[in-house]
Structure 1
Amino acid sequence: MRCVIFGATGYIGGRLVPELLAAGHTVRVMARDPDKLADAAWRDRVTVVRGDVTRAEDVRGALAGQQVLYYLVHSLTRADFDRVDRDAAASVAAEAARAGVTRVVYLGGIAPAGQSLSRHLASRAEVGEIFLKGSVPAVVLRAAVILGSGSASFEMLRYLTERLPVMVTPRWVRNRIQPIAVRDVLYYLVRAADLTGEVNAAWDIGGPEVLTYVRMMRDYAAVAALPRRVIVPVPVLTPWLSAQWVNLVTPVPRAIAVPLMESLVNDVVCADHQVADYIPDPPGGLTPYRRAVALALNRIRDRDVPTRWSDANPPDSPSDPLPTDPDWSGGSLYTDVREQHTSADPATLWSVVEAIGGENGWYSFPLAWSLRGWLDRLAGGAGLRRGRRDPHRLRAGEALDWWRVEYLERGRLLRLRAEMRVPGRAWLELSVAPDGAHGSVYHQRALFEPHGLSGHLYWKAIAPFHAVIFGGMVRNITGAAESAVPAGPAPRLELDESEHRSGGETR
């Protein structure tokens, strides 16, 4: 089958591509920023087109000649996400019909009948209905909590359980949930491409167990060899209040935590298992909860997380060129430029630069970085808890604490764009160059484009700290390169299984 994926830079989309390829399909992906896929292991095996689902002409070009459309796009971080998703889905459904697409596959959320739905679940259900009512046969797969390394739901569960031995929780943590392993979600998505005829249906998909969030946290603690967690449900914590706590304790920002928390107010359990009438259960059966947790933890401990929830740019994130590009004109731009020669060779210096952030830190005044991160979290921003996907290698487009990797030329230049809450736009450039036969040169440049008076005041207020923060970075990065020590492997759970099923199994 000729398959096109909308949402390949997201958590599920980035994992679906190699599974479709392994199953023998040809794949095209549409991305707003194709550069984000430059380092994907499968990049040279697919066709990548630039486009946005909100622009009909982009959608039309991406769908030309394709048979199966995978629609994995959500605008969760926007205040008007339901309107944006509704309009985009309607436009895509119409263009799919004009292009002669034979099937649409959409991954939504379980919408329990007879219950008042959160905006998030209601929007997912609405998008599914738009595709089901279109003229192209659609398969809408509806899942609850997806368990996999790097998923927003799993990261929220992991951080809450690992960091809080005693938790005061909303009483609805005892509501019923039917989580599903990411490997089983991918299995169903791949098999949906093989369906024949005019199948037009929505199916709930879930794992073999129905649990409560309390049980999920306690079972997670058991798998991770943590002491038993004490959980005290109380009636006064609303989903909004709970989301503020999640925003502070976990890497999941408030914009995503709020809809996730609101969704947990509902029982999210499969109404039936009708999907098995068309797609048989995976070989060996659906993945039990504890095994899914162990598989995800092994991925994390092996530093082998192919995609994360934070990989996808927020729909309204800035994507304009750096203000110093030739086509930029007007306005103000503040800069802080520093440079230092070092006896370390360029390759060693670059290894330190590319490993910056996450558990490796930012090489200057940790207290100041930590305080700024907490302030950003309080304001609903990314903070420092998003960390990094891999301790040593970066990819263009991925999240790195409160930054986004905007440009990466391995061995020479790393450009980060700030996603913290600031009155303007900010970048940080780190570059490496050889210094003849005597080591290398480290060059660092911070740029800030202020928005309004508050932006100018912000820069002037923090300017006195630049010598400590940015100057310390220069000294400590070059110093680390001169005394670089390789890191050892992380421990692993006793479970010899992949988080993803093999291509043969998904076929």
Structure 2
Amino acid sequence: MKILLTGASGYIGGNLMESLKEEYEIIAISRNTSNKEDEENVTWKEADLYSQLDIEQVMEGVDIAIYLVHSMQPSSKLDQGTFGDKDAILADNFAWAAKKQDVKRIIYLSGIIPDDDELSDHLESRLECEKILGSYGIPVSTLRAGLIVGPKGSSYPILHNLVKRLPALLLPAWAYNRTHPVALKDVLSGLMEVVKRKPEQNESIDIGGPEEKTYRELFEETAEVMDKKLPMVDLPIIPIFLSKLWVRLIAQKPKEMVYPLLESLTHSMVMREENYVEGISNAPTTFKESVRIALDGELDQSSPSAGGLLQKKDIQKNDVKSVQRIKIPEQWSVEDTADYYINWLSRIGGRLINTSVDDKETSITLPFFKDPILIFEKSEERSYEDRLLFYIKGGQFSQKREGGRARLEFRRVLDKDEVLIALHEYEPTLPWFVYTLTQARVHLMVMKAFGFETGLLANMLGSRYAKYVSNPHAGRA
């Protein structure tokens, strides 16, 4: 059996690969394989999961695809957009490619989802990814884990660093929410068991250790295992935004990771009976034993390589990723949205911005520039009903590189009245500091303004823009 493993160069993925390769043939995926070497039952392949073409190619011949991906770390020099919107694109690419290559199953490692009416952005994104992965007709097994306890990773090292570095703790209200901590080794065992399953439809399986605990108890027991006295004082009035600031400062982790995780602590995350599967959900290792194992494997996590965390300063290429989610009228298709955007640019730009469409090419021009600033070419091969892709083929504001893949896409996920508009791998010609202060900000303002107008069209069909709702191509040159 051939298994594709994303996140293979990460902490959980790397450990899982060590277990899987004893029984299966592994295709290990990484954005950069220059420092990777194939070994028995392991073949490394390079792929950018933001590229549908890349992931489609590496999935050829795969039986099971394992999805261990999140976008809380930067992937470009400049990232505009929320991690949730970027996660939606990644999950949609993955599931679409799996369907295209006739993959039999998808396995997704997520977090326990509380049964609350409103979820944090992080948990909402995890749940949306689960739905997207399961929307293409391929059975998806989602293993929803409690707080994973290991020497690296995301959540537990933050808790460990707080206990290690602080002389005392002021406890906010969220310290009394409950969670189901689970040892890393038990999560890996659970994933191995999930690989053996053969579900005919989507399934969600919770996994947690034998104890349900508050975060205060996690602090107390971690300090006890570390043989450290850690006085604690309840201060429930501390707002979550202050918690995010001091946790980031003390834990020394990037805000892109700390902030979403801290927001999720406002929920209790414990296993649900309907998601219980004997032999998987009931992880045996206690929290204290999990901490001892984590401390035995502790490494210096101050460097990106040791902690597996990519910082923006580590990205050498001056490229841009910008993703915005907009609401659209329910009558519109993705193509309608793209057409309206092109016409809208000329309309709001007055005499400053002009767009022209010639066959498959769309050009944007500005006064005082002889040639277009950007030239887009529609890719018929990579476009379909729920996705339109335009490659940036030239223009005075775009770097020209052989084999360059700068592109703009319009995409709908989960049949919602929403479209994700994403700019990928774009390299500006302006000096970087000038670009970030000018063109980058203008692009973001333009996209927000466009989203505001399409939202009005969706909500106010009786407005003076109503004609565009029924005919978004109106006014097209």
State the TM-score bracket (shorter-chain normalisation). 0.5 to 0.7
Compared CA separation, residues 131 and 316, structure 1 to 2 (3 A): farther
**Cα offset for 1:108?**
1.0
**1:56 and 2:52 are equivalent in the alignment:** yes
Corresponding residue SS for 1:222: helix
The equivalent of 1:96 in structure 2 is 98
**1:66 and 2:62 are equivalent in the alignment:** yes
Supply the distance in 1 between the matched residues of 2:52 and 2:121 (Cα, whole angstroms). Answer: 25
Residue-by-residue CA offset, 1:289-341 (whole Å, 9 max, x unaligned): 0000000101127x899x988315369962439xxxxxxxxxxxxxxxxxxxx
The equivalent of 2:167 in structure 1 is 165
Supply the distance in 1 between the matched residues of 2:32 and 2:210 (Cα, whole angstroms). Answer: 38
The equivalent of 1:313 in structure 2 is 310
Compared CA separation, residues 36 and 169, structure 1 to 2 (3 A): farther
Corresponding residue SS for 1:202: strand
CA contact (8 A) 2:301 2:307 kept: no
The equivalent of 1:337 in structure 2 is none
Supply the distance in 1 between the matched residues of 2:33 and 2:147 (Cα, whole angstroms). Answer: 29
1:174 to 173, 176, 186: 176
CA contact (8 A) 1:239 1:258 kept: no
Corresponding residue SS for 1:108: strand
Give the TM-score normalised by the residue count of structure 1. 0.58
Mind listing any 5+ residue stretches in structure 1 that lack a counterpart?
Answer: 322-449, 456-507
Supply the distance in 2 between the matched residues of 1:9 and 1:62 (Cα, whole angstroms). Answer: 16
CA contact (8 A) 1:177 1:269 kept: yes
**Cα offset for 1:150?**
1.1
**Cα offset for 1:169?**
2.5
Q: How does 1:3-18 map to 2 (within 5 A)?
A: 3-18=3-18
Compared CA separation, residues 224 and 129, structure 1 to 2 (3 A): same
CA contact (8 A) 1:170 1:233 kept: yes
The number of aligned residues is 318
**Cα offset for 1:11?**
2.2
Supply the distance in 2 between the matched residues of 1:48 and 1:156 (Cα, whole angstroms). Answer: 30
Mind listing any 5+ residue stretches in structure 2 that lack a counterpart?
Answer: 75-80, 319-430, 437-477
Supply the distance in 1 between the matched residues of 2:63 and 2:11 (Cα, whole angstroms). Answer: 23
The equivalent of 2:125 in structure 1 is 123
The equivalent of 1:232 in structure 2 is 233
Residue-by-residue CA offset, 1:5-50 (whole Å, 9 max, x unaligned): 111122211111101013x111001211112535xxx756411111
Give the TM-score normalised by the residue count of structure 2. 0.62
Q: How does 1:8-87 map to 2 (within 5 A)?
A: 8-22=8-22, 24-37=23-36, 43=39, 45-77=41-73, 79-87=81-89
The equivalent of 2:202 in structure 1 is 200
The equivalent of 1:484 in structure 2 is none
**Cα offset for 1:4?**
0.4
The equivalent of 1:149 in structure 2 is 151
Supply the distance in 1 between the matched residues of 2:194 and 2:317 (Cα, whole angstroms). Answer: 37
Compared CA separation, residues 37 and 238, structure 1 to 2 (3 A): farther
| Aligned AA (1:49) | K
| Aligned AA (1:29) | A
CA contact (8 A) 1:76 1:255 kept: yes
Among all aligned residue pairs of Structure 1 and Structure 2, give the percentage whose two residues are the same amino acid.
30
The equivalent of 2:224 in structure 1 is 222
**1:300 and 2:298 are equivalent in the alignment:** yes
Q: How does 1:455-494 map to 2 (within 5 A)?
A: none
Corresponding residue SS for 2:128: helix
CA contact (8 A) 2:172 2:238 kept: yes
Residue-by-residue CA offset, 1:204-259 (whole Å, 9 max, x unaligned): 111111111110011011111112x2222223322221111112111322221111
Supply the distance in 2 between the matched residues of 1:454 and 1:286 (Cα, whole angstroms). Answer: 53
Supply the distance in 2 between the matched residues of 1:453 and 1:27 (Cα, whole angstroms). Answer: 44
The equivalent of 1:345 in structure 2 is none
Corresponding residue SS for 1:69: strand
Corresponding residue SS for 1:30: strand
Supply the distance in 2 between the matched residues of 1:151 and 1:124 (Cα, whole angstroms). Answer: 17
Corresponding residue SS for 1:101: coil
The equivalent of 2:287 in structure 1 is 289
| Aligned AA (1:258) | Y
Q: Which shifted more, 81-90 or 62-71?
A: 81-90
| Aligned AA (2:13) | G
Residue-by-residue CA offset, 1:48-100 (whole Å, 9 max, x unaligned): 11111111111111110010100111001454211111122112112101211
| Aligned AA (1:292) | S
CA contact (8 A) 2:88 2:129 kept: yes
Corresponding residue SS for 1:196: coil
The equivalent of 1:251 in structure 2 is 252
Compared CA separation, residues 280 and 145, structure 1 to 2 (3 A): closer
Supply the distance in 1 between the matched residues of 2:154 and 2:313 (Cα, whole angstroms). Answer: 19
**Cα offset for 1:179?**
0.9
**Cα offset for 1:272?**
2.0
RMSD between superposed Cα atoms in Å: 2.9
**Cα offset for 1:127?**
0.3
